[in-house]
Amino acid sequence: MIRALLMSALFLSAGSASAETMKLAVTTSFENSGLADILLPQIAADTGIDIELIVVGTGQALRLGEAGDVDAVLVHSKAAEEAFVAAGNATHRREIMYNDFVIIGPGDDPAGIAQAGDATEALARIATAQAPFVSRGDDSGTHKAELALWNAAGIPTEGDWYRPVGAGMGAALNTAVGMGAYVLSDRASWLKFGNKDGMSILFEGDPAMFNQYAYLPVNPARYDHIKAGAAARLEDWLVSERAEVLINGYRVADEQLFTFNAER
Amino acid sequence: MGDLLAGLTEAFRMIVTLDAELIEITLRSLRVTLTALAISCLVGLPLGGWLAVRRFRLRRAVIATMNALIGLPPVVVGLVVYLFLSRSGPLGVLGLLFTPTAMIVAQIIIITPLVASIAYQAMRDLWSDYHDLLISMNATRGQRIVTLLIDARRALLTAALAGFGRAIGEVGAIMIVGGNIDGATRVLTTAIALETGRGDFALALGLGIILIALALIVSWGSHWAMRTERQGTW
């Protein structure tokens, strides 16, 4: 009995001492894409860092970084990221990769956005048709990108047809599917989404809908406990050739989701 | 209908194959909730007994407040606990955010009023029966509370099970303070929320069925152990 207890105590202590852990706040779109499941085991094998993912919207991810509750963030909203660095919350911003946004809608496409020439025209057609449009409405990177597109199109986001749900990508997609509405989603989340129910990608490919992901290590001068060493090693790995191969090679339904574009 | 059947099939498959991740998050759910429940009972049951035997000026206000706190919105509890445990919050130095301990703290706050309130109701009725006897035996206040706790134990089991039920099914608070970290703070309810978000309704529902089964097993098991509702042992 005593021996069994000792053995289990030894086992437990060995287990906890094996790897360094760090906390990384990432966006729901990154987690939902499934890329994390490919990258994290390889990161653990190459660097010995066990990454604990906190999956939230970009807005909350940056708040967690500001409060020192995570060691780094991986998000996609350039203006908010630059403000974050300017406020001294992160030492710098490093672009890693991009994917793109697509507009999802019901198969019969009541607003006819599939024939639109660019994103501005597609949104204008939705607004003109007063077709229901689901917005994330949660201050996430996708929400900010959507607002920037409406802004560029010069269309006010108000009216019965415009429905902010204040939820993550998956919940917003579920809502849009439920009411047959248009919705802006990152391509990865949509391809991995299991409840498509007659909805499909109706508009894609406008460069204005590219979605740049960047890595921001939290400023260690702000808090003593920030694991700056692990965060730096993770950054080195994320821009490495091995990461490039894994990111560019990741496919869902035979489509490449992410394009690596970090500068070394 | 198809999703419901797929959910049942998925639950069955995960149980039969003893899915390693399922076992891990189920055990974590149990560990977090049972720890929170044990601490809530340590606080709530004696508090209920004390309120039953003690008469003081603000007693009604305290009891009314306690009853109102049963309805504390978990998401608000989660937010407040987050703000306290955040590195930039007053208890940030403890480094407890995004750990199972933080989830336990949030659940204790959520269920203690419920446990204490039901315990108080049970012991108040018993106290009106025992009052004259215990007073005439010159029992101290501590002895009175202990007597009530022992003789009301079956009603107190209901209090504990109500607390367990609220805690095991809770998602709003533990999502915020636990972070739903895979392998560290992911439990059944947060996994269900995650899979729903991914549109994988079959897996989400499968996990939900397992969660409900778990609550049933705990309830049956504790009733069996306490020998309630059997002939001759009212």
pLDDT, tens digit, 9 for 90 and up, residues B109-155: 999 999 999 999 999 999 999 999 999 999 999 999 999 999 999 89
Q: By the 8 A CB rule, do A146 and A140 touch? A: no
Q: How far apart are CA B231 and CA B211, in angstroms?
A: 31
Which of A68, A194, A223 is facing B198, going by the closest CB pair? A194
Question: Which of A209, A230, A251 corresponds to the end of one domain?
Answer: A209
Question: Which of A209, A224, A243 corresponds to the end of one domain?
Answer: A209
pLDDT at B43 over 70: yes
Whether A78 and A46 share a structural domain: yes
β-pair partners for A260: A97
Of residues A222, A173, A252, the one with CA closest to residue A71? A222
Both tokens of A170, joined, read: 């998956």
pLDDT at B160 over 90: yes
pLDDT at A16: 41
pLDDT confidence bin for B229, thresholds 50/70/90 = low
Q: How far apart are CA A217 and CA A144, in angstroms?
A: 22
CA distance B222 to chain A (A): 28
**Is residue A96 helix, strand or coil?**
strand
Q: How far apart are CA A169 and CA B197, in angstroms?
A: 7
Q: How many structural domains does chain A have?
A: 2
Q: Is the ipTM of this complex over 0.85?
A: no
Q: DSSP letter at B92? A: G
pLDDT confidence bin for A129, thresholds 50/70/90 = very high
CA distance B198 to chain A (A): 5
Across chain B, mean pLDDT equals 91
Q: How far apart are CA B161 and CA A82, in angstroms?
A: 50
Question: Which of A169, A192, A209 corresponds to the end of one domain?
Answer: A209
pLDDT at B233 over 60: no
Whether A144 and A47 share a structural domain: no
- The DSSP bridge pattern shows strands A49-56 and A20-27 to be parallel
B contact residues 96-115, partner A, Cβ 8 Å cutoff: 97-98
Listing DSSP states for A200-211 in one string gives EEEE---GGGEE
Whether A215 and A85 share a structural domain: yes
Q: What average pLDDT score do residues A29-43 get?
A: 89
pLDDT at A28: 81
Sequence-separated contacts (24+) of B140-143 with Cβ below 8 Å: B141/B50, B141/B53, B141/B54
Q: How far apart are CA B48 and CA B121, in angstroms?
A: 8
Give the dihedral sign, CA B39/B61/B53/B149. negative
pLDDT at A19: 73
pLDDT at A94 over 80: yes
pLDDT at A12: 44
Across the interface, whether the CB atoms of A54 and B97 are under 8 A apart is answered: no
pLDDT at A7 over 70: no
Whether A173 and A117 share a structural domain: yes
pLDDT at A21 over 80: yes
Q: How many percent of chain A have pLDDT more than 70?
A: 93
pLDDT digits (tens, 9 = 90+) for A185-236: 999 889 888 889 889 999 999 989 999 999 999 999 999 899 999 999 999 9
Residue B71, Cβ density class (10 Å: 0-12 exposed, 13-18 middle, ≥19 buried)? exposed
Q: How far apart are CA A144 and CA A209, in angstroms?
A: 12
Tokens 């012991």 belong to B123
Q: How many percent of chain A have pLDDT more than 90?
A: 68
Alpha-helical runs (H) found in A27-140: 28-33, 35-47, 58-66, 78-86, 119-129
Which of chain B's residues have a Cβ under 8 Å away from the Cβ of A63?
A: none
Whether A86 and A141 share a structural domain: no
Across the interface, whether the CB atoms of A69 and B87 are under 8 A apart is answered: yes
pLDDT confidence bin for B8, thresholds 50/70/90 = confident
Q: How far apart are CA A110 and CA B129, in angstroms?
A: 72
A237-249: burial string, b at 16+ Cβ within 10 Å, e else: bbbeeebbebbee
Alpha-helical runs (H) found in A87-163: 119-129, 141-153
Whether A230 and A194 share a structural domain: no
**Is residue B9 helix, strand or coil?**
helix
pLDDT confidence bin for B199, thresholds 50/70/90 = confident
Across chain A, mean pLDDT equals 89
Domain limits for position A114 = 101-209
Site from A26, A30, A62, A69 to mutate, B interface, most B CB atoms within 10 angstroms? A69
Whether A85 and A136 share a structural domain: no
Tell me, what CATH number does A169's domain have? 3.40.190.10
Whether A16 and A76 share a structural domain: yes
pLDDT confidence bin for A126, thresholds 50/70/90 = very high
Across the interface, whether the CB atoms of B184 and A55 are under 8 A apart is answered: no
Whether A107 and A198 share a structural domain: yes
pLDDT digits (tens, 9 = 90+) for A160-192: 999 999 888 888 999 999 889 999 999 988 988
pLDDT at B230: 62
Whether A202 and A113 share a structural domain: yes
pLDDT at A24 over 90: yes
Whether A179 and A236 share a structural domain: no
Whether A134 and A180 share a structural domain: yes
Domains of chain B with CATH codes: 2-226 (1.10.3720.10)
CA distance A137 to chain B (A): 16
Which of chain A's residues have a Cβ under 8 Å away from the Cβ of B198?
A: 32, 170, 192-194
Q: How far apart are CA A68 and CA A80, in angstroms?
A: 17
Site from B1, B198, B200, B201 to mutate, A interface, most A CB atoms within 10 angstroms? B198
Which of B95, B180, B201 is facing A194, going by the closest CB pair? B201
Q: How many percent of chain B have pLDDT more than 70?
A: 97
List of E strands, A114-258: 133-135, 162-164, 182-186, 199-203, 210-217, 251-252, 255-256
pLDDT at B100 over 60: yes
Q: What average pLDDT score do residues A24-33 get?
A: 86
Which of chain A's residues have a Cβ under 8 Å away from the Cβ of B99?
A: none
**Is residue B178 helix, strand or coil?**
helix
